Every structure is written in C-alpha cells, then in structure tokens.
Structure 1
Amino acid sequence: MKIYNRKLIFTLFVFALCLSGCTNLDEEAFGSLSPDTYYNTEEEALSSVVGVYQALSSVSSIDRPWRLQEYGTDEFVIPGRASGGWFDQDVIDIVTHTTTPVNADVNRGWNSLFQEIGIANAVLESLQASPNRENLKSLIAETRALRAYGYFFAMDLWGNIPIVTVARIDPNNLPATRPRTEVFEFIESEMLAAIQDLPSVTEVNRTSYYPRFTKEAIQGALASMYLNAEVYTGTPRWSDAVAMCNNIINTNAYDLEADVVDNFKSTNEENSVELIASFSIDPTQNAGNNQFILYTNHSPGKAKYNLPFTPANGFSTFPEALNRYENQDNRLLLIEYGPQYYLDGVTPLTYPDGTQLDIIPVQDLVSAADNEGYKVLKYTPIGAAFSGFNADNDLVLMRYAEILLIKAEALVRDGNITPSVSLGLVNEVRERSNATPLGSLTLKDIEDERAREFLWEGHRRRDMIRFGTYFTGTWSFKPNTTEAFRGIYPIPNIQRSANPNLDQNPGYPQ
C-alpha cells in the first residue's frame, strides 16, 4: 500500500514542472508557485516536500549516487559484455581506482545530488516565506533534514564541496569550494536543528506517516556521520555515535525483522519494525521506481520470476562478497551463483537453446560472457508488482540493524570496557540470519559483518575507507594499493568549467 505517494502524486507533478531545469549550481532557481497563495495547508506544503524525497531517493536507487557508493569496492561491478553491451570505460576506471576528473559517471552523481539540494533550497525558501510558516515548522525541519542528507552524501563522495542554502544563485558570485570539515559542521548543525521540530516515531502513526523522516531517521544519519567523523574531520566522535544510537534504541520502537529479506519486499514496508528511513515507490502512479531486478538479473530470470520484461544482466558482485557467508547463513540466499533452477529448486533454469544457466565469477572486466558475475537479488521480485520493468519495492535508506552495528563498532573503537555489549549487538544481527554466533569480536569481524548485512545498500565504499581496506585491500581487478587521495572522488571538470570557484581535490589533475 502506497498511501503517501498516491495521495500527493498530482501536486508533486505540478511542483516538479515549476522546478525542472532550475537546480544546477550555475543557474538561478526560481519556483513559479507563490507562497502567499500556495502553502495554505500542510497538505499543500507536503506535496512540495515529497518532491525532495524523490530527488534524494537516488542515493538508494540504481542511480549514480548509489553506484558511486558501491563502485570500486569488493562487492559491486558492471562488466562489459562480450556482446558489446554494458561496456563503459568510466565504470572500469572507477572499479580499478583510476578515476579522473572527466569521468561522466562521477559527474552524473554530482548533478543528481546537487539537483536534490537545489530542489530542497527552493522548497525551503517557499515554506519559510509562507504566511502559514508557523504551522509548517515540522515540514521546514523535514526539508532541512532532506537537504542535509543530500549534503552528507556529497561530502562523503567529494569531501570539499560548495555550500548553497539559497534558491537564487548570483551568476556573478558563484559558490566556492568549502573544506570538508566545514561541510561536516554545517550538516551536523542542520540535522541537530531539524531534530528539534521533527516528531519521534513514538508520536506518529507509523503506517500513515510512513515514509517521512522522524527524529530517529536523522539521529541515525548523525550516528553514521559520527562513526565516520575521523575520516571526514580528523577527529573521532565515537561517543557521539553511541549516543545517537542509544536515542533510537531507547524508543523501543524498532526491532529486527524475522528475516532480513522482509525489509526489501514490496509487501512489508509501512508496517516494518526495522525500517528507520526509506523511500516509497509506486510506479503505477508515476511515483518513483525500483529497477534493481531489471539491471541485475539474467535473461532467464524472466521465466523464473514471471517478469513482464527481460532483465538486462548488468549489476554483478564478486566472489569476495559471496565467500564471506557461512553456508547456512540465510543472507547467502540473496545471491545467485552456480547452476540455476526455477523456484522449485529442481527444474533447471535454461536459455532458449536448453543450456542451463551456470553463473560464474567475472573473468573479463571488458568482455565478460553472459553467465559471468554473481547476482544480488536484495529487492526480491517475489511478491512485487511491476509496471513495465519497474518494481514497487520501496528503497531502503536506513534500518535498525545498522544502528546496532554502528553502536557495536563505536564502542569497540572507543575502548569499551565491557566488550560483551558490542559482541551481543553483532551476534543479534548474525543470529537473525542463522549465522554462527561469534565468541569474540575484532574490528575486522565488524567490517565483515557490515559487508554481509548491508550488501548493496550503499555502505561498502564508506566502510572500506573507514577501515582502510579500500586502500590496502586487494580483490578482483584491484590488485594494487590505492593512493590515499582516492578516498574522495575528483570534482568533475565540467562543473569546474561552469563554476571556476570550485577547487579540484588534491591528488587529481588540476
């Protein structure tokens, strides 16, 4: 059931038309709707805020912001196919850690995130200019949080970025690059301010309020920021990460779903006890889409899952990701590898010529055979409704399992004097998926557990950078040590040409 998007889709469409083409940093952004005549009710205002949610959903969808969080890690690759399909040198450069400032995928990710920030700025200005603004405090806070979330991902990917808080940009005074530490402080202050006027999950009807941000959604974002603070600012914030996690845990409003895949079904969204932040999807109402099955699965998957389209066989994962799981770990069921069968587990899944599909590791990054590349089906097609090749599974941004593992890691890094607390948190996540409980706990155990639990949820690159394995680790197609400067992407040259006030990140060609 998609109460939220169905209710608001028409007004969102109208508002989107008013903002389209006006959100790049080198352009002026003007909304044609007048706050004096528009935001007379909360529903009218909410119809604009939902557009910011849809713009931010790129961080969890198949769009470039999500891909940039996964490219270059040991769990995600899009190999070029021997048929000529999917070959993209820009993708290969990121996978092999040789990205340059002319990379088109990096530029697409930049455009997507700063478009979200631009839309948020326009909506926020309209809300704050409304004569009804005193009754819109929660929506103003919600929009500030959405903008801050966009900045969080931009800061994570590019480090040193401009800070823009206005909808109208003076073309004679374009924004300059700001240091990552300053961006971190801005995001933190915006999120802390937003929390003051957002409702707690304990104060709303979760079914009707879903999937809007609550205090806990922003506390979770801060917990993640604090966990990575040493990377971002040079100063660790372990105790602050624990405090934010405790705020969420102490509500007693969240728990782990019985099965991890329940979080990704199309039928268990607004009633989930684990989801803290997500994006509502309903392609039948032009309210977003989920294309993970389209981009990931093999062509014989059309028959296996009775799909109304032929999957494109693009997104893949490495043996390194597969091999982290124990044989009995239920999370392993999310990965397709080896000989494939129909859902009965007996009937071979075959190509039209009768050959059984046997999925093997990627052998050739440029010219892979059709059956190369293990597949991740996190957003299960079972039970999903499709409109064309778009599924209606909601996109996950944050869930309770992450809060447990953030707290566990922060306690270990902060020298927790009672290691059993961290161990218990990690084992709670492991036992849910039938993994063997750990008897002791190291940081390597935590990194591996996060990789198992959050496969393809957009965390791996950030995690590998925090643990250092992004630079020192070796895996398929990444045999060498990575230079430290590649912990952030280059500022795209096309953006610097449009705005000469943007400085290139150190290490990249100036």
Structure 2
Amino acid sequence: MKKIKLTSFIIFAFITFSCVNELDTEPKVELSLQELLQKDPEAITGIMSKLYGSFALSGPNGAGSSDISDDPGESPFLRGILNLQDFTADAMKNRWGDDGLDQLTTTSQWDSNNKFFRYLYNRVYYTVPQCNNLLAILNNVDIPNKDQTISEVRFLRSLAYYYMIDCFGKGVLLTEDDLGTTTPLPQASRLELFNFVESELLDVENKISLTNSYGKANKSAVRMLLAKLYLNSEVYTGTPRWNDAFIYSEKVINEGGYSLESNFRKNFSSDNNTSSEIIYPLIADALNSQSFGNTTYIVNGSLNSANMSLNDYGALQGWAGHRSSKAWYGLFGDLSSTTDVRGQLFWQTGQTYEMTDYKEWTNGFPSVKFTNLNSDGTGISTDFSSTDFPLFRLADAYLMSAEAQIRKDGSANSQSLGYVNLIRNRANATPITSLPPSGYTSHVLGTSDALSYILDERARELNFEGHRRSDLIRFNAFTGSNYIWPWKGGVVDGTSIPNTYKLFPIPATALDANPNLTQNPGY
C-alpha cells in the first residue's frame, strides 16, 4: 500500500495527557495496551501507525480531531516545525497574523504566551509519553519483530526530543522508568537532553535494520538524526563535533542505498513515495490521513484562487497565506532566465519582488515547490494533500557532509565539491569549478568563503523543509546584524534581533505545570 492507514480504535489503547499538565507522567489508560497486544500481537501495526502519525496528524478521527486540547488545525507537529523553523527565518513569510503568527513571521515580540510555541512543546510531550508507555509494555509481550519495533519507538522518541533540544534548549527528560511518577520531574539541561538522545541513537543504530518499509525508520534515518545532532553540537553543547557529523553523513551516503532522484520535483509531488532519495518521510494521504498540519498546510497555504489555478497544483482550496521573500528567490539571480529548476518554482504573475507589506498577498512570490499532483503533472485535485513530507533526504546528507568536511579541515576538498555539483547538476544549475567559486559573494553573509556558499546552497535546495532557522543559527546569521532579511525584527528592511532569540520561550502553561522549569533568558 502507498500509505500507512491509521486504525481509529487504537486511540483507546493509548494513554492521554492533559496539555496543561503535560509533565505529569502518571498514565491514564482506557484500555490496556498489554492486554491488547497479548490478545492480538498483530495490533502493533496499528499502534505504530498511530505513533508515526503523531508527527503529521492532529488526531485519530480526521483533520478536525485532536489528541491534545490544542486547536486541531493549527497544532500538528509538522505544522509547528514549519512555523518555527521557516517562518521565523528569512525565506518564508505568512500573512494571516492570527494571534501570535505575526510574532513568528517578523521575528519580534516573542513571549511565553504565544500559542505557536505551546503547540510544538505540547506535541513533544504528547509523543514522548506515548513512546514511553509503549516501550514499558513491549518488554512484557511477544510480538513480531519485537527488537525492530522497540528500536523504531526509541528513534521516534529521540526525534521528538531533538526538537526540544533545538527549539527550547531544555525541558523535562521522561523515559519509561518515570511512568507512575506523580511529582514534577526536574528540569533537564540542553546538554543532558543531547547526551540522552545521542546515547539512544547510538544504541539503536546497532539494532535497527538497514532497510524498512516506506514511511518507517531504518538505520539511515537514525544516522541522519545523529548527523544533524552532531552538526549542531557546537550550538547545543558548546563543543563542535564536525568529524562525527561527517562520519554519520558519510554512512548515510555510502551505506543507505539511496540515490538522488533525477527529477527534483518528484521529491515534493504526490508520487514522492517512489523517490529514490527520501530517507524518512512524514506520510500524507488525501483520504486516509487527512490533516491541516501535513503538506496540506504547505500546498493549500501557498495558493490563492484569485490569481492562481488551484488545479495546476492538485488543490481545491487556496488559503492565500505563504509567500517567499527575496531572501530565497534572490539566491537564484534573474528568475526569468535561470536554468535552475529550483529557481523556477515561484509564482510571479501579479506579485511584487519586494515585500513591503508582508500581510499583502501580492507582496513576494509564493513557492510552488510542493504540489499535490504527480511529478508528471497527472492526478486529481483534492481538499487535502497526498504528498509526503521529506523530513530526511539524501541531498541534505550530501550538504551536511560537505559542510562538516570544510569545518573540520579548514577548506573544501574534491569530494565536497563533487557533492555540491551532484545537487546542482540535478537541478540543471551551472556546476561550480571550485568551492567557493571564483568571484563568489554570499547573498546571505556577504562573504566569499566555502562555508558561506554551502549556506546559500542549503537555502536553494532545502528551504521550506524545516531546516532554515537551525542553519542560520549554526552560521551565526540568525540573531544580531550579521545578516538582515525583510521583516526581521518587525521592520520592512530588517533589523538586528537579540541573541536570546536563538531559543524560543518556554510556554507559560509548562512553567505553571512544573515549578522545576525555568524560563529561557530574555523572556
């Protein structure tokens, strides 16, 4: 089957938590998972589907349902990743401005009551206890492929914690050993969370299979997450781990069996489940896994029926919300003559190059990188998207390897140059003969070194895929005035923002629920 179907009854087998008291680890079980699995070991398939779906779906009964008390349309995990990673950065801006979204898209006036910070925080502390509860039960039942299943659950828990490390910098470390605890647990530092996730992934790497069915974690997914952890280690812990980032990126490249998809657009089309490049996707299906928080948010949010043909992108709805800014499409030079297919994925008709008013739809160019049609243009229009979200893909591994090699060695080598050209050649962009190319000046940093070129190439290749804020922070280009983009700091031409913005504020609801938590500096 192309997609993983969700079994609605499984919700009764899962523990439920109050959003306000998400750190209270006492499980409230409506149906014993252990009894269910002892009676029917094959039920693990539906349970795991539910767990995987927690990163893209809001709840078990369609787009209007929610596993937590937050808004089912606004609060899904993937939507939170995009809001906090892309709209807070330079390339993507949203015009709706509803109750806190303006604070994200202008990178200004952040506070602990912003619901969009709470949404991602709550999703982490919904997914983690689900993993903990299942892990505790799996030790007491016999199911098919038990060790593999346990490895996948530990990976999903690590993935959730990764976003806590990256976005909030601290939190509470919950494991299956804490089930039944009724007193608030102590705060865990960024380093403690980092060390836990690293140790989990290193152990899982040796146990999880090299291959797995589509949509499920395998050894390469684990290694990609490790590579990302190590690539940002200096930000997270103060200690660079460039060689480790290089080693794990290379493991993905050389041992995973993946290859660049010849058609760049296929990675973002509804047939991307057959892409040779996607390592770990978040599943979407217009019938079986409807959500306002998966790629439906990207596709519908980037379209407007007033001046665009929705059917050209397989959509029935255009929400007129997202446009990119010149910080992204400016990287491609003259869009009217570029041969780079990535630079051709912007809607320009009726739009202005400058974004003088981020709330005006016609300011900036909508990105049509994601579509709900097949890569050959066939398909039918639907209200929800069937395009999976490529959370990890091979092109990112190439660029991570190149960056880590440059950082550890001090200059680029022929392999890193080759990796960049593999990506550029696939996009029909002009290959480069050196890294950095002769005469090159970074669009972002105004510098002329190899690392600056890698940052620009990451933007050309990976924007709107949930990486941008983390990339800019790693390059010291997010806060301060090293790099100014449109509407940074709430000013049309951009302005400096404080270093405290490298982390989001801990939501007020979390602080109220656990007195052991402290607020991040500056909030």
Give your verdict on TM over 0.5.
Answer: yes
Alpha-carbon distance in structure 1 between the residues aligned to 2:173 and 2:194: 11
Q: CA deviation at 1:103?
A: 1.3
Q: CA deviation at 1:23?
A: 6.3
Aligned to 2:35: 37
Aligned to 1:399: 393
Aligned to 1:311: 318
Q: CA deviation at 1:386?
A: 6.5
Task: Give a deviation string over 1:271-313, Cα, whole Å, max 9, x none.
Answer: 3210110022223124655312211111243455275633010
5+ residue gaps, structure 1, are 80-85, 340-356
Q: 1:272 to 1:303 in 2, by over 3 A?
A: closer
1:260 and 2:264 aligned: yes
1:63 and 2:83 aligned: no
Q: 1:113 to 1:35 in 2, by over 3 A?
A: closer
Q: 1:307 to 1:315 in 2, by over 3 A?
A: same
1:108 and 2:101 aligned: no
Aligned to 1:347: none
Q: Secondary structure at the match of 1:191?
A: helix
Aligned to 1:125: 136
Aligned to 2:93: 77
Q: CA deviation at 1:34?
A: 3.0
Alpha-carbon distance in structure 2 between the residues aligned to 1:168 and 1:178: 14
Aligned to 1:246: 250
Q: 1:315 to 1:370 in 2, by over 3 A?
A: closer
TM alignment of 1:461-500, pairs within 5 A: 461-471=469-479, 472-478=482-488, 479-500=494-515
Alpha-carbon distance in structure 2 between the residues aligned to 1:189 and 1:134: 25
1:273 and 2:276 aligned: yes
Q: CA deviation at 1:180?
A: 0.4
Q: Secondary structure at the match of 1:48?
A: helix
Q: CA deviation at 1:265?
A: 1.4
Q: CA deviation at 1:226?
A: 0.4
Confirm or deny: 8 A CA contact 2:15 2:29 kept in the other structure: no
Q: CA deviation at 1:444?
A: 0.3
Amino acid at match of 2:122: N
TM-score (norm 2): 0.84
Q: CA deviation at 1:325?
A: 1.3
Amino acid at match of 2:121: W
Q: CA deviation at 1:26?
A: 3.7
Amino acid at match of 2:50: G
Aligned to 1:299: 305
TM-score (norm 1): 0.86
Match of 2:186 among 157, 173, 176: 176
Match of 2:357 among 353, 364, 370: 364
Q: 1:193 to 1:30 in 2, by over 3 A?
A: farther
Alpha-carbon distance in structure 2 between the residues aligned to 1:432 and 1:400: 13
Q: CA deviation at 1:15?
A: 1.6
Task: Give a deviation string over 1:103-123, Cα, whole Å, max 9, x none.
Answer: 111111211222121222222
Confirm or deny: 8 A CA contact 2:215 2:282 kept in the other structure: yes
Confirm or deny: 8 A CA contact 1:284 1:387 kept in the other structure: no
Aligned to 1:189: 199
Aligned to 2:491: none
Superposed CA RMSD: 2.4
Amino acid at match of 1:430: R
Q: 1:239 to 1:399 in 2, by over 3 A?
A: same
Confirm or deny: 8 A CA contact 1:30 1:122 kept in the other structure: no
Q: CA deviation at 1:39?
A: 2.3
Q: CA deviation at 1:96?
A: 2.7
Q: CA deviation at 1:377?
A: 1.8
Confirm or deny: 8 A CA contact 2:302 2:320 kept in the other structure: yes
Confirm or deny: 8 A CA contact 2:313 2:372 kept in the other structure: no
Identity %: 28
Q: 1:285 to 1:413 in 2, by over 3 A?
A: same
Match of 1:457 among 441, 465, 476: 465
Q: 1:272 to 1:134 in 2, by over 3 A?
A: closer
TM alignment of 1:310-349, pairs within 5 A: 310-326=317-333, 327-337=338-348, 339=349
Q: Secondary structure at the match of 1:92?
A: helix
Q: Secondary structure at the match of 2:486?
A: coil
Alpha-carbon distance in structure 2 between the residues aligned to 1:307 and 1:141: 36
Q: 1:303 to 1:395 in 2, by over 3 A?
A: closer
Alpha-carbon distance in structure 1 between the residues aligned to 2:171 and 2:412: 39
Confirm or deny: 8 A CA contact 2:372 2:381 kept in the other structure: no
Q: CA deviation at 1:318?
A: 0.7
Aligned to 1:351: none
Please, which moves more after superposition, 276-285 or 461-470?
276-285
Alpha-carbon distance in structure 2 between the residues aligned to 1:397 and 1:60: 15
